[in-house]
Amino acid sequence: MLPDHVTLCDVGPRDGFQFEDRFIPTDRKLAIINALADAGLPRIQAASFVHPKWVPQMRDAEAVCAGLPDRDDVIFSGLALNQRGLERAHAAGLSHVDLSIATHDAHSQDNANMSVDEAVAQADAMLDYAAAHGLSAQMGFQTVFGYQEPGDTPLEQITELAAHFAQRPLDSLSLADSTGMANPRMIQQRVEAVQQVIGDVPLVLHLHDTRGLGLANVYAALEVGVSWFDTSLAGMGGCPFIEGATGNIATEDTAYLLEQLDITTGVDYRAVARASTQIEAFLDKTFPGTMHHLLQRSAATPA
């Protein structure tokens, strides 16, 4: 049985924007964030707190957070990958933080220059800090569905990590298809294995549409009870540190699919599509999402 309600978190202002070489001014970032909030997104990942040498687009993370609207109906979060980033997110006034570690040993070495065990120890210390300072934390796992080839991250390692972090006070646990290698069968197998060890901890899927299976993977996840997904307006984004890892599932496409399935989200996909069209125009490029292009063509067609 499919869920009656699904929560969408738009990660575009972080995951989407970080992929762009052209700097998006702070006021324009905030305009998009406000548009997403007005469209009904209950959760928005507003920024990441990383060194601007590695992700120049996020050099104004503190300014973005300072300009976030004061709303009771939206949770704004920021990504922190190390202790310094977490301290910056806290100082910037965020009460919700997203932490993330690699689950594939080679990826952990390539991306963070540490083993998975070292990453776990760092994440534990960060969770201690979050708890001590009253921060709500999501724990994210990268490359759950493969790094160099589909399924090459050991499932046993993923479930062991999930069981470990499920003992901590978490807002949620996120499984990321960082490379876009997942398929519907793998989604169900790995999600069900994780569900068995995390108890009542809410499970989030962060899917990429790199190989065109994004929405098929959403449906497969719905069938096994997942009711929380990360999405990105227009299908923006990817990972700058993984070659070819482009294309998050588009917020407006996912919201439209769920509406067609009679699953409520509270998200107006048409309003998200308008924001997608605006960021495309500013960046003068086309993103892979579908619904904003379809609605744009429909609006331009004479009655």
Average pLDDT estimate for 103-111? 86
Three-class SS state of 26: helix
pLDDT in tens, 243-262: 544 689 999 999 999 999 99
Three-class SS state of 104: coil
Asked whether 71 and 33 are in contact (CB, 8 A), the reply is: no
In degrees and rounded to multiples of 5, residue 229 shows phi and psi of -135, 145
85 residue type, one letter: G
Q: Which of 239, 257, 275, 295 is catalytic?
A: 239
pLDDT in tens, 10-56: 999 999 999 899 999 999 999 999 999 999 999 999 999 999 999 99
Element (H, E) at 297: helix 291-300
Tokens of 298: 């429909």
Using H for helix, E for strand and C for coil, what is the string for 264-283? ECCCCHHHHHHHHHHHHHHH
Please say if 9 is a catalytic residue: no
Contacts with 211 (C-beta within 8 Å, 6 or more apart), sequence order: 180, 181
Cβ neighbours of 169 (radius 10 Å): 10
Average pLDDT estimate for 137-156? 95
Average pLDDT estimate for 252-280? 98
Asked whether 300 and 262 are in contact (CB, 8 A), the reply is: no
In the chain, % of residues over pLDDT 70: 96
Q: What's the predicted TM-score (pTM) here?
A: 0.95
167 φψ region: left (φ > 0), alpha (ψ -120 to 50), beta (else): alpha
Taking the C-alpha atoms of residue 260 and residue 204, their distance in angstroms, rounded to an integer, is 21
pLDDT in tens, 212-223: 999 999 999 999
Asked whether 138 and 173 are in contact (CB, 8 A), the reply is: yes
Taking the C-alpha atoms of residue 82 and residue 111, their distance in angstroms, rounded to an integer, is 13
Structural domains present in the chain:
7-300 (3.20.20.70)
pLDDT in tens, 171-219: 999 999 999 999 999 999 999 999 999 999 999 999 999 999 999 999 9
DSSP state of 85: H
Strands (E) across the chain are located at: 7-10, 43-48, 75-80, 96-102, 136-142, 172-176, 203-206, 228-231
Asked whether 142 and 176 are in contact (CB, 8 A), the reply is: yes
Q: Write down the number of H helices and E strands in the chain.
A: 11, 8
* Longest Cα–Cα distance in the chain: 61
In degrees and rounded to multiples of 5, residue 228 shows phi and psi of -150, 125
Res 243: pLDDT: 54
Cβ neighbours of 35 (radius 10 Å): 18
Taking the C-alpha atoms of residue 97 and residue 76, their distance in angstroms, rounded to an integer, is 9
Contacts with 113 (C-beta within 8 Å, 6 or more apart), sequence order: none
Mean pLDDT of all residues in the chain? Answer: 94
